[in-house]
Amino acid sequence: MSGSIFGKNFTVTTWGESHGKALGVVIDGCPSGIPLTEEDIQTDLDRRKPGSNTYGTKRKEGDKISILSGVFEGKTTGTPISLIAFNEDQRSRDYSQISECYRPGHADYTFDKKYGFRDYRGGGRSSGRETLSRVAGGVVAKKILKELGIEIMSYTVSIGNIEIDRNKFDIEEVSKNPLYMPDRDAYEKASLFLDECIKNENSAGGIIETVVRGMPVGIGEPVFDKLDANLGKAMFSIGAVKGVEIGQGFLSTKKTGFENNDFFHYNNGKISKLSNNAGGILGGMSDGSEIVIRTAIKPTPSIHKTQQTVNKNNENIDINIKGRHDPVIVPRAVVVTEAMTAITIVDLIFSNMFSNIENIKYLYKR
Amino acid sequence: MSGSIFGKNFTVTTWGESHGKALGVVIDGCPSGIPLTEEDIQTDLDRRKPGSNTYGTKRKEGDKISILSGVFEGKTTGTPISLIAFNEDQRSRDYSQISECYRPGHADYTFDKKYGFRDYRGGGRSSGRETLSRVAGGVVAKKILKELGIEIMSYTVSIGNIEIDRNKFDIEEVSKNPLYMPDRDAYEKASLFLDECIKNENSAGGIIETVVRGMPVGIGEPVFDKLDANLGKAMFSIGAVKGVEIGQGFLSTKKTGFENNDFFHYNNGKISKLSNNAGGILGGMSDGSEIVIRTAIKPTPSIHKTQQTVNKNNENIDINIKGRHDPVIVPRAVVVTEAMTAITIVDLIFSNMFSNIENIKYLYKR
Amino acid sequence: MSGSIFGKNFTVTTWGESHGKALGVVIDGCPSGIPLTEEDIQTDLDRRKPGSNTYGTKRKEGDKISILSGVFEGKTTGTPISLIAFNEDQRSRDYSQISECYRPGHADYTFDKKYGFRDYRGGGRSSGRETLSRVAGGVVAKKILKELGIEIMSYTVSIGNIEIDRNKFDIEEVSKNPLYMPDRDAYEKASLFLDECIKNENSAGGIIETVVRGMPVGIGEPVFDKLDANLGKAMFSIGAVKGVEIGQGFLSTKKTGFENNDFFHYNNGKISKLSNNAGGILGGMSDGSEIVIRTAIKPTPSIHKTQQTVNKNNENIDINIKGRHDPVIVPRAVVVTEAMTAITIVDLIFSNMFSNIENIKYLYKR
Amino acid sequence: MSGSIFGKNFTVTTWGESHGKALGVVIDGCPSGIPLTEEDIQTDLDRRKPGSNTYGTKRKEGDKISILSGVFEGKTTGTPISLIAFNEDQRSRDYSQISECYRPGHADYTFDKKYGFRDYRGGGRSSGRETLSRVAGGVVAKKILKELGIEIMSYTVSIGNIEIDRNKFDIEEVSKNPLYMPDRDAYEKASLFLDECIKNENSAGGIIETVVRGMPVGIGEPVFDKLDANLGKAMFSIGAVKGVEIGQGFLSTKKTGFENNDFFHYNNGKISKLSNNAGGILGGMSDGSEIVIRTAIKPTPSIHKTQQTVNKNNENIDINIKGRHDPVIVPRAVVVTEAMTAITIVDLIFSNMFSNIENIKYLYKR
């Protein structure tokens, strides 16, 4: 495996298995001089933690993070930042079911075929638990963005067929309900729907929207490292993501050019767009509007309901996956999409610094 | 700009502006021993060429490709392959309109802000003409895949609101109509719709589907260089793409886990899936089923209809974009999505070679 | 800082400061199926440890390594391997001298200018202690090479002006003396010389030779990722290295082409060279002969003798560096050169796997 | 082959074979706004050209460079710069000798083993002619450095056993003699020695020194992308290089720490070093002194004198290499070392821009 590093200049290297000794992340390329504490990181980890909402798994995940390097006297030093969370809950348990067959919708089969065997305990490396490392790395990225006045927020816009009503959109509501939905009514309906899912030993998916405010114009590197291209990769690298849209996304294909184009307008000493169908990205570069990304999260594959599958002896069997499972992972993924967005943007902000000789001269003649 | 290189081990470096002297691509990491001729490449370039279908721009693009290096006695040598197409049509023309204002839906504004100025001739580097280089590189990737029995095919599944009827799906039809649609009736309706667009000085978008057959199991590198993550980046790096889906994509969010999971089944000495909602990717690795990707192409931003914008003097103006423009770029993008898919898959096939010590020993003890 | 990752496909990401909480390394790209234990790693760490020879610092370094991920049931799984060693010796001490001035020959000044401040405790990130992570990563690389029959050995060929006598070369002697010299007499002279250095509050440097046996032909990627280019980078990335040679190195400049060329010879079904002035590398690729690298290690900059320098208030001052210091770091560097050589070669062995379409077909049709 | 790209953010991708249609380079990551003409590039190409000095091959190399992209109205646009030189001299000739056997000291054998066959015409990709692309890329790098007040100069310090006398060092002399030696007397002796080499059908090597002036402090990324590490790679990537030294290099191993350490001194509002044994690099970062690199160039392997080798039928044969050959390639390599140094430094100057949050804030609040 050689895919555990994300980013070019601001890099995040994650490691760790669901039920191994620990999980962690090494952040290389973080500038010096940024205040960083373990509490900063813990806050987002707690938002991600299954225990933090009603519909997460009941397993106790400690997720207590430690900073092992790269911070001195409360500030980043410019050297790699190593963050670690030990797995508290490692008692031996019965993995015979999961180790011997291929769970539908999971990576058991592909892992076995690629590597010859797998660490089957709790899903090993393909567990959602791996995203703990991403969220920790994302906090560092967000701290950098904060210094530049850039903010990122993700929230849930649908669970199954229940969608938020844009007319009732209330950003304050996001932190008040465990599904991170910006519409109280939608949350309540989704809540009932998820209760139904649990009763039916089934699960649900949903859609997350991520908004970035305060972007400078010109972030993104044509033609392959476009802002949308790198965000697309970032989002699809999250386990259950099956679709990504920027701005109007698939809907734009139903519009005419005249309807879809955003007109430029000059007012009050500033150029802006009269609409934002583009989702804040033109030609792969930020255009100064809000970045808007939507991400499709498939329904949790782990369900109690009886399914058909194959075991290691190539026998067709029925399987009822045991244990406690999230009926929906969308709220956990909300925090992960924020993290991946932040990491992606910081990386491209660095690349933009040397796009123009005037920038370089300006800095070196400082 | 530092984003003109795509891939890690099989790399494609594109260069060239729409109305500069030439465009080209350098392919590094191509294995030795693959038969390659200029004709091989020309075939796909001709499929991409606007002149090849009724709804493309009428401008004559020569797109005559030359192989300048990396091929000897008809075969690749393992050294970088340089491909070039000179721009035949470089006579001076009137660019005053495009140079002085920011066309809605285009990269004029973001280019200017990022770099301080831009090569405005025909869109410069952000022109769709840049994809010529990608298509040329894609041909080389496809030749490698062909040696391994892997095939890629893209086609149009919708233009505006006109969608193909899956019951009438006919793959033979794709090469018979200029919109590359696998349904004759849908093509005819789309054709009438596009005539309407032209009459209205407007444009349309659409959705492309890409299918990959013959994939081995296990291609893709968890956790960041997942097959879907790298495909996501590849697709979003194409100019007009605003959305990407794998398998059931956004639709999967409306399903339950039980409905969406694909059951494994053993039959005739082989494990396969009873359905393919996953689009051939599990845990970021190919699962042996067909890879299915859908890509949303926004309506062409260049339209004759009057639009509002801002010029370089920060004046709010009306603009009627002159010249001949595609009412739809979907058919051109069809060929580009094939190319980007091929390049992405070859790169990950290389990475998979050293995933297992048995592979390495097998090869070095050959 | 964005330079803590080494390698392209087999990557080693190191982190940690001399007197921080811990040091470690994440190895990404290690194939699955390789037996790996903490003892395997501890052995090389102990060879590197200052306490292991008479001329190292007397500080007790625990260097107890733990494997935190990537190994399951005694074998690598193909997922990232995280190795960690906690710093046992973190009690507060007096760093006022080192924190306030720039030690000659050290990175204090450049760190401060680059990052604005530095973790001054024990040299922070620029301490030789960082090489612990490299050695740990190197063990994993050596395990891979062992599976392919490739062996690496480094030893000391000179300390100050005392050089080994090639006629007395005895490889068995290397592990028997703390300076890792393959000549008992030279070791004894060097030993006396180092006693003298200590008495004079001074230090010494030396030259290390690294030999690689069992290399297949063709490892190395022309034109920039040549085997010698990547080895050159690997060696110069080690703290005190000021020169690197391959084969005859600088001496080859004094020879004629006829003297320096190695003639090819066919014998017993095998092509070999009648001499090895090239040091096993032709055109940047291994030629099947032994790889021979020599590395110049500067004298330890930390000495007790009075030196002149500048403090943070820009005052010219005298400095007597306190504490216990190695009079020579050459023996510690011996183990580090082996590690960096192993990491470099594994990475290029991976790249070589897809150099030829026959290799790829051979593997995928397995 | 996947090694034709050098650099991380400022990348140089070279392509082309000695006797193919053309050679070229794509420079990605060049900032916008830098004046660049074909004449700028031609000047250095002419310095590199064999015809430019008495001891180069007599073959006429046109080396006429064209800029194909990335420059508009005389300035770089920030998009990739494609440079090309067509091979004028491609008439068919007799390659039977070189195609059928392995020339000692050349890459014929390793290329064949790695790739299965090779473009044998004039050495193909392993020809010194490949450095044309590097020199072209180096010119662009030098233009960037010039904007920052950084200058690079290389010259010959020895040819065979003839060394320059440092007391007679005259930098003006470098451009006045075809061996680029800064000492007229040494040049004259070397000249006689080379005449002797030609008469003996033999060849010679030499040592090049490269000096960089005007470096800011802090360029280089610990711990792996140190300035010296990347320079080491850059230099060893040049065909005939067998050794690289920074500052005192191998000589430093013979000194004590007290002799080798450079003392810091504050004077006139500025910290500097009282000596420069370190060659301008401390802890892998520039320290503000001159960077000093020495590079060992082996004697040209192509000689007329009879040598032993093996042919493709595994027969031991005698070989007399025909054609005109440089008795020494040192002067050509002088220009190449400048180019590789410039490319390396620009790349690390970019990385340094985001080492500190103050830099980033300073730039984005501009």
d(CA C68, CA C252) in angstroms, rounded, equals 47
pLDDT confidence band for C110 (50 / 70 / 90): very high
What is the number of H-type helices and E-type strands within chain B? 9, 18
ipTM of the complex: 0.96
Q: Would the pLDDT of D301 be above 50?
A: yes
Q: Taking a C-beta distance cutoff of 8 angstroms, is the pair B309, A264 a contact?
A: yes
C-beta atoms of C29 and A1 within 8 A: yes
Determine if residue B156 is labeled as part of a ligand binding site. no
**What is the rounded distance in angstroms from the CA atom of residue A38 to the CA atom of residue A49?**
16
Find out whether C275 is annotated in a ligand binding site: no
Q: Do D21 and B66 touch (CB under 8 A)?
A: yes
- Using a CB-CB distance cutoff of 8 angstroms, which residues of chain D are in contact with residue A349? 360, 364
Put simply, the answer to whether A4 touches B299 (Cβ < 8 Å) is no
The answer to whether B332 and B132 have CB atoms below 8 angstroms apart is: no
Question: Strands D270-273, D264-267: parallel, antiparallel or unpaired by DSSP?
Answer: antiparallel
Q: Is B118 annotated as a binding residue?
A: no
Confidence of residue A56 (pLDDT cuts 50, 70, 90): low
Chain A contact present for C359, CB below 8 A:
no
Neighbours of chain A (3+ CB pairs under 8 A): B, C, D
Q: What is the pLDDT of residue D74?
A: 97
C298 annotated among ligand-binding-site residues: yes
How far apart, in Å, are the Cα atoms of D46 and each of D52, D136, D326, D332, D335?
7, 11, 16, 10, 10
Per-residue pLDDT reduced to its tens digit, B123-156: 899 999 999 999 999 999 999 999 999 999 999 9
For D229, the closest of C105, C233, C242 (CB atoms) is C233
In the 3-class helix/strand/coil scheme, how is chain D assigned residue by residue?
CCECEECCCCEEEEEECCCCCEEEEEEECCCECCECCHHHHHHHHHHHCHHHCCCCCCCCCCCCEEECCCEECCEECCCCEEEEEECCCCCCCCCHHHHHECCCCCCHHHHHHHHCCCCCHHHHHHCHHHHHHHHHHHHHHHHHHHHCCCEEEEEEEEECCEECCHHHCCHHHHHHCCCCCCCHHHHHHHHHHHHHHHHCCCCECEEEEEEEECCCCCCCECECECHHHHHHHHHHCCCCEEEEEECCHHHHHHCEHHHHCCCEEEECCEEEECCCCCCCEECCEECCCCEEEEEEECCCCCCCCCEEEEECCCCEEEECCCCCCCCCCHHHHHHHHHHHHHHHHHHHHHHHCCCEHHHHHHHHCC
Nearest residue to C295 via CA among C231, C229, C207: C207
Residue A160 to residues A163, A173, A295, A329, Cα–Cα distance (Å): 8, 20, 13, 12
Tokens 């990175």 found at: C107
Which pLDDT band, with edges at 50, 70 and 90, does B55 fall under? low
> What digits encode the pLDDT tens for the residues B67-110?
999 999 999 999 999 999 999 866 667 787 788 899 999 999 99
Mean residue pLDDT of chain D comes to 94
Tell me: pLDDT of D22 over 60: yes
Distance of CA C223 to CAs C178, C298, D128, D235, Å?
39, 30, 11, 12
Q: How far apart are CA D8 and CA A10, in angstroms?
A: 13
For residue C51, pLDDT over 80 is answered with no
**Tens digits of per-residue pLDDT, B5-48?**
999 999 999 999 999 999 999 999 999 999 999 999 999 999 88
pLDDT for residue A59 is more than 50: no
Residue A266 contacts B, CB cutoff 8 Å = yes
Q: Which chains border B (3 or more CB–CB pairs < 8 Å)?
A: A, C, D
Distance between CA atoms of residues A243 and C171, nearest Å: 60
Which SS3 state, helix, strand or coil, does residue A74 take?
coil
**Residue indicated by tokens 């080379």:** D194
Cα A182 to Cα A43, B64, B357: the distances in Å are 20, 54, 49
**Chains with ≥3 CB–CB distances under 8 Å to C:** A, B, D
Option in B221, B236, B242 nearest A1 (CB)? B221
Dihedral of alpha carbons A190, A191, A195, A198, sign: positive
Q: Provide the pLDDT confidence category of residue D50 given band limits of 50, 70 and 90.
A: low
How does DSSP classify residue B299? P
- Interface contact D81-B15, CB threshold 8 A: yes
Does pLDDT of A53 surpass 90? no
Which DSSP string do the residues of C135-168 spell out, in sequence order?
Answer: HHHHHHHHHHHHHTT-EEEEEEEEETTEE--GGG
C residues 276-335 closer than 8 Å to D (CB) = 278-279, 282-287, 296-303, 305, 307-310, 314-316
- The DSSP code for A78 is S
**What pLDDT was estimated at residue C50?**
57
Task: Give the whole-angstrom CA distance, residue A280 versus residue D250.
Answer: 56
Q: Which two tokens stand for residue B26?
A: 């350098």
Predicted confidence band of residue A58 (pLDDT cuts 50, 70, 90): very low
Residue of D nearest to C194 (CA): D256
Q: Which residues in chain C have Cβ-Cβ distances shorter than 8 Å to A116? A: 32-33
Check pLDDT > 90 for residue C122: no
Determine the pLDDT at residue D63: 81
Which residues, 6 or more positions from A128, have their beta carbon under 8 angstroms from its beta carbon? A239, A240, A329, A332
Type of residue at C61 = E
Please spell the DSSP secondary structure of C285-348, one letter per residue. EE-SS-EEEEEEEPPPS--SS-EEEEBTTS-EEEE---S---S--HHHHHHHHHHHHHHHHHHH
Give the model confidence (pLDDT) of D240-289 as tens digits. 999 999 999 999 999 999 999 999 999 999 999 999 999 999 999 999 99
pLDDT surpasses 50 at B257: yes
Cβ–Cβ below 8 Å for D355 and A33: no
Residue matched to tokens 């067709």 = A316
Query: Chain C closest CA to D73's CA: distance in Å?
Result: 32
Cis preceding linkage at D223, omega within 30? yes
Share of chain A above pLDDT 90, in %: 88
Least confident range from A239-243, B86-90, B247-251, C235-239: namely B86-90
Count the neighbouring beta carbons within 10 Å of the beta carbon of residue A180: 24
- Interface check for C109 against chain D (CB to CB < 8 A): the answer is yes
Across the interface, do A354 and D353 touch by the CB < 8 Å criterion?
yes
**What is the C-alpha to C-alpha distance for residues B324 and B306, in angstroms, rounded to an integer?**
15
**Alpha carbons D95 and D118: distance in angstroms, whole number:** 12
The pLDDT of C237-246, averaged and rounded, is: 98
A&D contacts, CB < 8 Å? 92
Confirm or deny that A48 is annotated as ligand binding: yes
Strands (E), B127-217: 151-159, 162-163, 206-213
Write the pLDDT tens digit of every residue in A177-202.
999 999 999 999 999 999 999 999 99
Mark yes or no for CB contact A310/B158 under 8 Å.
no
CB C180 within 8 A of CB C331: yes
Asked if the Cβ–Cβ distance from C33 to B358 is below 8 Å, we say yes
The 10 Å Cβ neighbour count of residue A35 is 13
The alpha carbon of residue C105 and the mean position of all alpha carbons in its chain are separated, in whole angstroms, by 19
Query: Does A1 have pLDDT greater than 90?
Result: no
> What is the nearest CA distance from A73 to chain B, expressed in angstroms?
32
CB atoms within 10 A of CB A59: 13
Q: Which of B222, B218, B220 is nearest to B231 (CA)?
A: B220
From first CA to last CA, the distance across chain A in angstroms is: 43
Shortest CA distance to A291 belongs to which of A305, A273, A316, A317? A273
How sure is the predictor about D297, in pLDDT bands with cuts at 50, 70 and 90? very high
Contacts of C82 in chain A (CB under 8 A): 15-16, 22, 24
Question: Cβ distance A240 to A205 under 8 Å?
Answer: yes
Neighbours of C34 (CB within 10 A): 22
Give the residue from A26, A275, D360, C31 showing the smallest Cα distance to B354.
C31
3-state secondary structure of B364: helix
Token pair listed for D196: 């002797």
Map residue B21 onto helix, strand or coil.
Answer: coil
- Please check whether residue C35 touches B, CB under 8 A: no
Q: Do C224 and D236 touch (CB under 8 A)?
A: no
Contact D222, C108 (CB under 8 A): no
- Tell me the pTM: 0.97
Residue B58, pLDDT above cutoff 50: no
In terms of C-beta density within 10 A (0-12 exposed, 13-18 middle, 19 or more buried), how is residue A33 classed? buried
Interval C309-357: pLDDT, tens: 999 899 999 999 988 788 999 999 999 999 999 999 999 999 999 999 9
D126 annotated to bind ligand: yes
Structure-block tokens of residue B262:
């694909």
Tell me the HSE value of D169 on the side-chain side, using a 13 A CA sphere: 7
Which of C109, C200, C257 faces D282 most closely, judged by CB atoms? C109
pLDDT score for C325: 80
The minimum CA-CA distance between C36 and chain D, rounded to whole Å, is 25
Q: According to the model, what pLDDT value does residue D2 have?
A: 78
Residue D92 pLDDT level (bands cut at 50, 70, 90): low
Number of cross-chain residue pairs from B and D with Cβ atoms under 8 Å apart = 157
Distance from CA of C284 to the nearest CA of D (A): 8
- Asked if B363 lies within 8 A of C364 by C-beta distance, the reply is no
Write the residue in B4, B33, B72 that is nearest to D80 by C-beta: B4
* β-strand partners of D318: D308
Cβ contacts of C167 within 8 Å, gap of 6 or more = none
